[in-house]
Amino acid sequence: MQSTLNEQEFITWLNRISYHGSEQQKILLSAPSLFIRDYVTAQYRATILSILEEITGESVDIEISVHANPTTEDPATVKVVKPKSAPLPKAQRKPRDPNINQSYQFDSFIVGDNSSFAYSVSMAIARNPGVSYNPCLIYGGVGLGKTHLIQSIGNYIQDNTPELQIVYVTAEMFTNEFIQAIGGEKTPQFRNKYRKADVLLIDDIHFLQKKSSTQEELFHVFNNLFEANKQLVFTCDRPIQELQDIADRLKNRFTRGINVDLQPPDFETRLAILTRKCEEQGCHISQEVLEYISRSVHTNVRDLEASLTKLIAYSNLLHKEITLEIAQEQLKGVFSLVKDQSLSIDSIIRVVADYFNVSLYDLKGKKRTKSVVLPRQIAMYIARTITDFSTTEIGYEFGGRDHTTVMHSVGRVEGMIQTDSAVHGSVQHLIRQAQEYNRSK
């Protein structure tokens, strides 16, 4: 199968499956987690069975069970193994960076197709800092795990290579320290702190836009550490080329090594994240409810966890089991606040027009026939619900309608959703379609 799949797909899924044993006409395979087992069973079982029959000339079944195999452990569940060598003398250990949150660990990061490459690069850096992938830039939207990965690198190195000096800051902290150093005439101490780091981790470098003096200082820190083979890792909320008012020579430094992106998690990954969170907090939420949340939240992990936290709090405080009906009622306000900043109104209009088989011209135009009015109102509702556009901006995109028309449309669709499950299902389907269309552009 390896010869028929791309390298990342094979490494992410099949490389984690190992031989465990055999019975009459059956091969027993091992997976490192329920998530990997279920995914491989759903996606690859038929192909595996076909290949086995072709090779053996017989009908051979497979059974995949979950076993913690150290050679194929799922990166999402693998525990950091401490070195067995004698502990480093206390005098040689560098103090832990107080800015690094020790709860951010690789073993608590759920890996999916959206994050497997970024995770693998981060693990490689943590195991061999300064050797490869230097510098590294991890970029992606809000709440997708950039801070989790960059701080996991710091924690892993501090746990396994304590003789290295780790410095973690956000770009805002770096800027404020630099300003205070200048004002207090302590620039040499500031430079000494950063230029003596073995590993420098800077979060949210998009904060440096329009801060030319801070950029200049970071440029010199970067050069000093890079030439000394010290590890540099940065995070940003977008590709570096999209940053404004960043010096070209600093942009060039950020892109010199490896740039990896984090995308919004897919349904399976979202479900795995929620399942893990429930296990960590020792709470029971039905699979039906977890799947409902996973289908409804497409933006980021932060919004996903916020939805689950609200349900857990409701259950604990009122001593009630969370049913699907309770989840829908409690989260309708939360879901309405989940915004997708990358989603355009045009994407929504195109998807709705295609779904209802009406023309873009009619959807934006003045026609008020029933076959056009409802799709138009649903498109306005979706635009208002899951984007940051104002009612005035939405009205402009629909033929210059005023904001009161948009508000009326939103209110009408909200009422229909509460009383008609078919409308609710259609709207949720269209939201998913619009986001998928937008990502594919």
Q: Residue 37: give its domain's CATH number.
A: 3.30.300.180
Verify that 216 and 140 share a domain, yes or no.
Answer: yes
Among the three residues 262, 284, 309, which one is the final residue of a domain in this structure?
Answer: 262
277 vs 280: CA distance, rounded Å = 5
Domain membership flag for residue 82: no
The confidence score (pLDDT) of residue 170 equals: 94
Domain membership flag for residue 84: no
The confidence score (pLDDT) of residue 8 equals: 62
Domain membership flag for residue 80: no
Verify that 235 and 276 share a domain, yes or no.
Answer: no
Question: pTM of the full predicted structure?
Answer: 0.57
Verify that 150 and 24 share a domain, yes or no.
Answer: no
Domain membership flag for residue 85: no
Domain membership flag for residue 73: no
- Strands (E) in 150-303, as ranges, are 166-170, 199-203, 231-236, 258-262
Judge contact between 67 and 33, C-beta under 8 A. no
Verify that 252 and 276 share a domain, yes or no.
Answer: no
Verify that 307 and 367 share a domain, yes or no.
Answer: no
Verify that 397 and 428 share a domain, yes or no.
Answer: yes
CATH number of residue 232's parent domain: 3.40.50.300
- Give the range of the structural domain holding residue 392, as residue numbers without chain letter: 345-440
**CA count, 13 A, side-chain hemisphere, 288:** 8
Verify that 114 and 161 share a domain, yes or no.
Answer: yes
Q: How far is CA 73 from the centre of its chain?
A: 21
| pLDDT per 10-residue tile (average), the chain, 441 residues | 76 82 90 72 86 86 75 41 50 82 91 88 92 89 88 94 93 94 90 93 92 93 93 90 85 89 85 89 89 81 86 88 87 59 82 89 86 91 84 87 88 82 79 76 62
Domain membership flag for residue 10: yes
CATH number of residue 357's parent domain: 1.10.1750.10
The confidence score (pLDDT) of residue 375 equals: 92
Among the three residues 231, 262, 293, which one is the final residue of a domain in this structure?
Answer: 262
Among the three residues 311, 337, 363, which one is the final residue of a domain in this structure?
Answer: 337
The confidence score (pLDDT) of residue 31 equals: 84
Verify that 352 and 431 share a domain, yes or no.
Answer: yes
The confidence score (pLDDT) of residue 334 equals: 59
Domain membership flag for residue 72: no
Verify that 429 and 361 share a domain, yes or no.
Answer: yes
The confidence score (pLDDT) of residue 84 equals: 44
Query: What token pair was written down for 270?
Result: 């979202």
Q: How many domains does the chain fold into?
A: 4
Verify that 131 and 256 share a domain, yes or no.
Answer: yes
CATH number of residue 282's parent domain: 1.10.8.60
Cβ contacts of 14 within 8 Å, gap of 6 or more: 1, 2, 5, 40, 44
The confidence score (pLDDT) of residue 178 equals: 94
The confidence score (pLDDT) of residue 87 equals: 57
Verify that 311 and 358 share a domain, yes or no.
Answer: no
The confidence score (pLDDT) of residue 439 equals: 65
The confidence score (pLDDT) of residue 119 equals: 93
Domain membership flag for residue 372: yes
Verify that 251 and 150 share a domain, yes or no.
Answer: yes
The confidence score (pLDDT) of residue 75 equals: 42
